[in-house]
Structure 1
Amino acid sequence: MRRIATATLAAGVIITTFALTTTPADAAVGFWRTVGLSGVDAFGFYNTEASKVTLTFDLKDTKKDGYSAALRFTFTGAKKQKDDVRVVALTGDQVQDKWQTVTSTRIKHMYVQECRGTWSKGKFTTKKCGAWRQHY
């Protein structure tokens, strides 16, 4: 009787662990990292589901040179949907590091571009950007 109870408990633990660590068949999880533009360092994880994509990332400004680090994202969808571009910029000119989250309902592709820019009167102006890179 003890063996049956132990086997049942072990099977329950394995099934529960498997259920908590897997993602649905229509979901994809991935990792991305920026490459190239001096002063910008970022990496993150994306999770695509049937109806949205969630991107969680860490953005770092590695230089105190008068420019703020920024990332531009565009997510593509169906042919009739217009691509959306979002800019996430760190505020001020200081070496800083901040976690951010971006979501979109356009789930076909994600492109990321590293940028540097300045803030004036609460508005960010892009000064220099690297190339767009497709991450899925």
Structure 2
Amino acid sequence: MRRIATATLAAGIVITAFSLTATPADAAAGFWRTVGLSGVDAFGIYNDEATKVTLNFDLKDTKKDGYSAALRFTFTGTKKQKDDVRVVALQGDRVQDKWQTVTSTRLKHLYVQECRGTWKKGKFTIKKCAGWRQHY
């Protein structure tokens, strides 16, 4: 288990280092990782440009327990902009791993929340979530 965690952390550091050197001078980039909801493991890189933020992330469901792993993202903007909330959930109940991309024009802050839920008739219902964490 420690080898997997070490390999994941090393890959994240390499990807972050590459993204920091490959971004334009006016862009900011950073790395984030989930921290604690059992069954959900995710990490990613955000790239904050002048007009949008792009978030590339890997979402893993680490348990086969009847629930699917999900992440909720909130991108905040100015007072005139409505907050942009997105939910990304893995399909079904199986241990799986998938890279995803989310973009938004709301540039002020990024908050991420880890969740678990169920699928029924093509609709995802959240059952349990960890707290919101601000990443920039």
Q: TM-score range by the shorter chain?
A: 0.7 to 0.9
Kindly report which structure 2 residues correspond to 1:77-116, keeping only aligned pairs within 5 A, or say none.
77-116=77-116
TM-score, normalising length from structure 1?
Answer: 0.83
Kindly report which structure 2 residues correspond to 1:34-45, keeping only aligned pairs within 5 A, or say none.
34-45=34-45
Q: Distance in 1 between matches of 2:23 and 2:92?
A: 38
TM-score, normalising length from structure 2?
Answer: 0.83
Residue 7 of structure 2: aligned partner: none
Q: Distance in 2 between matches of 1:56 and 1:22?
A: 15
Residue 13 of structure 1: aligned partner: none
SS at match of 2:106: coil
Shift of 1:105: 0.4
Residue 30 of structure 1: aligned partner: 30
Question: In terms of Rg, which structure is larger?
Answer: 1
CA distance 1:60–1:80, change in 2 (3 Å): same
The residue type equivalent to 2:86 in the other structure is R
CA distance 1:23–1:127, change in 2 (3 Å): same
In structure 2, the gaps of 5 or more residues are 1-20
SS at match of 1:47: strand
Q: Which runs of 4+ in 1 moved over 2 A?
A: 21-26
Structure 1 vs Structure 2 CA RMSD: 0.8
SS at match of 2:24: coil
In structure 1, the gaps of 5 or more residues are 1-20
Kindly report which structure 2 residues correspond to 1:1-136, keeping only aligned pairs within 5 A, or say none.
21-136=21-136
**Number of residue-to-residue matches in the alignment:** 116
SS at match of 1:91: coil
Q: Distance in 2 between matches of 1:50 and 1:128?
A: 35
CA distance 1:84–1:26, change in 2 (3 Å): same
CA distance 1:66–1:106, change in 2 (3 Å): same
Percent pairwise identity:
87
Q: Distance in 1 between matches of 2:24 and 2:99?
A: 26
- Per-residue Cα deviation, 1:20-79 (whole angstroms, up to 9, x for no partner): x45333210100000010000000000000000000000000000000000000000111
